[in-house]
Amino acid sequence: MKKKKNQSKQQQPQQLWRGSQAKSIDTTTINVQNKLAVKITPSPRPSPPHTAAPAGAAVEKDNKLVPEWLNASDFAEIVASTEPTFDKILSSTLELATKPGDNYASTVLKVDINVQLKDFSSKTKSYIVKVKPSQALEFLPHNLFSKEIEVYANYIAAFEKLYTDAGQPVQFSPRSYRLHKKDVQVEYLILDNLKAIGFELCDRMKGLDLEHTKHTLKKLAQWHAASIKYKELKGPYPEKFNNGLYSEQTAPIIKAMLATCKKSFLEIVSQFDSINEFKDKVNNLFEVYVDSIVEDAKIDDNDFNVLNHGDAWINNIMFQYHNDGQIKETYLLDHQIGKYGSPAQDLYFFLMSSTQLDIKVEKFDYFIRWYHENLVESAKLLNYNGFVPTLKELQIILLKHSIFGPVTVWNPLFICLIDTNEDFKVDLLMSDSPAAEALRKTTFGNERYKAHFELVMPWLNNRGLLNVDNIPKLQK
């Protein structure tokens, strides 16, 4: 799956893209004050096939591509923090960093800053700016951004320090920055652009192979181990981390949205092979799964609990490679849906959504053993004194929290496997209109999703994970 291998000296603060709007997707740049520019064409770096349609198509629809509070001079303190010989900013460009189907909870921008150093040489620094969209999807929790900001501010560096202090440094995510010289009244994140240092996404429509899956599971095990050691040292996580996407507040909205696509979904999958063996089970589980996840999300202090990433799917994982094509580093992105609770959430969510078809079921138990070995090793390295489950106990945990298995097959697996374009919208998929119905037929009926469904659902059924009566905590 390897595809290739302080303050500026400007006298006037340069304005970065403020007041400029994209007029045409064919325009390369739009010059604004002090020769800064808005770049509205897609990134020239090669992207994995099928990640989505060109980003430029969406720019024309954005009335405000650039946050009003963001100026070029803001990046002087950020550049200076990593470049001791930084002199001044020469120029900068901005473009959309994501495309339809890649990110639903943020507006993500790529900012390239061309800077001059004190020896008069120049270099380009590249950053990702995440801002809260003006209109978020209705079913998303309101605190997504505050969660991610807190994870970057309080947990990522702290988790990494645990490993550094233990003598085996581990990095989880890109470095983040805050603007200390101005008071910004909106929620935002500024991160290093990983693509600029060789990180790549894998093709979500193909999924991850064995080695990419193992590297991701090792990183998740290290994250989970750090989270339990951190709790041992610092105490419980804030209450906001008790809920993920599903909560008592979001459940009614999610149920209403699902009601509009349930009929289409069941009609389409009823034509798939072997569905007759468990068709009634799928229908029954579809009726109760939101309530089941909400119940499952309630913290049981007698269980083995970790701080889950919460959104560990293929588009939130980036890889860096050695010259020979071997995986060098694995980073986790988008910490907006972090949730304290059973690790079954991350394990089912990742393995069911993001692995290649030929290993998704065949290697499932092997992957669980691999994750467990790394969890035990990391917990021991960090001198964690609490309970860590045996492999058998971890398998029992997966059976106890089994609802995440079939739910992940329904969503986000279909998102991973559809060929999105600039017209694709999740809210359209779950609305009630002829266009939505046509989109649902294309989404649920595509051959890639059909192949995964026909493999995974019988396997879940044979493990007893489609039976409503077997779902713990759920009271009918």
Reported confidence tier of residue 459, pLDDT bands at 50, 70, 90? very high
Reported confidence tier of residue 90, pLDDT bands at 50, 70, 90? very high
Mean pLDDT comparison of 165-169, 250-254, 271-275, 280-284, highest-scoring range? 165-169
CB 107 within 8 A of CB 94: no
Reply yes or no on whether the pLDDT at 397 is more than 90: yes
Tell me the mean pLDDT in the region 431-446: 88
C-alpha span between 383 and 385 (Å, rounded): 6
C-alpha span between 106 and 94 (Å, rounded): 16
Strands 86-96 and 37-39: unpaired
* Residues in contact with 316: Cβ distance below 8 Å, sequence separation at least 6, in sequence order: 309, 332, 333, 334
* Residue 188 structure tokens: 């935002």
pLDDT for the residue 185: 85
C-alpha span between 278 and 459 (Å, rounded): 11
* Residues in contact with 441: Cβ distance below 8 Å, sequence separation at least 6, in sequence order: 264, 268
Looking at residue 357, the DSSP 8-state letter turns out to be H
pLDDT for the residue 249: 86
Spell out the alpha helix ranges (H) of 272-390. Answer: 279-296, 344-354, 357-360, 364-381
Neighbours of 419 (CB within 10 A): 16
pLDDT for the residue 24: 26
C-alpha span between 85 and 43 (Å, rounded): 28
* Residues in contact with 207: Cβ distance below 8 Å, sequence separation at least 6, in sequence order: 314, 354, 355, 356, 357, 360, 416
Reported confidence tier of residue 203, pLDDT bands at 50, 70, 90? very high
**pLDDT, greater one: 32 or 167:** 167
Q: Across all residues in the chain, what is the average pLDDT?
A: 83
Reported confidence tier of residue 473, pLDDT bands at 50, 70, 90? low
| pLDDT single digits (tens) 398-424 | 999 999 999 999 888 988 998 877 567
Share of the chain above pLDDT 90, in %: 61
Q: Which amino acid is at 399?
A: L
Q: Which amino acid is at 228?
A: I
| pLDDT single digits (tens) 284-337 | 998 898 999 999 888 999 999 999 999 999 999 999 999 999 999 999 999 999
C-alpha span between 41 and 55 (Å, rounded): 7
pLDDT for the residue 422: 58
Tell me the mean pLDDT in the region 201-211: 97
Buried-state track 278-310, b at ≥16 Cβ within 10 A, e below 16: beebbebbbebbbbbbbbbbebeeeebbbbbbb
* Residue 313 structure tokens: 């799917």
Strands 339-341 and 122-131: unpaired
pLDDT for the residue 418: 87
Q: What is the CA radius of gyration of the chain?
A: 23
C-alpha span between 102 and 228 (Å, rounded): 30
Q: Tell me how far CA of residue 295 lies from CA of 326, 366, 466, in angstroms.
A: 42, 29, 17
Reported confidence tier of residue 475, pLDDT bands at 50, 70, 90? very low
**How far out from the chain centre does Cα 289 lie?**
22
Q: Which amino acid is at 363?
A: K
> Domain map of the chain by residue range?
29-177, 201-470
**Where do we find the tokens 């440094």?**
169
C-alpha span between 83 and 114 (Å, rounded): 12
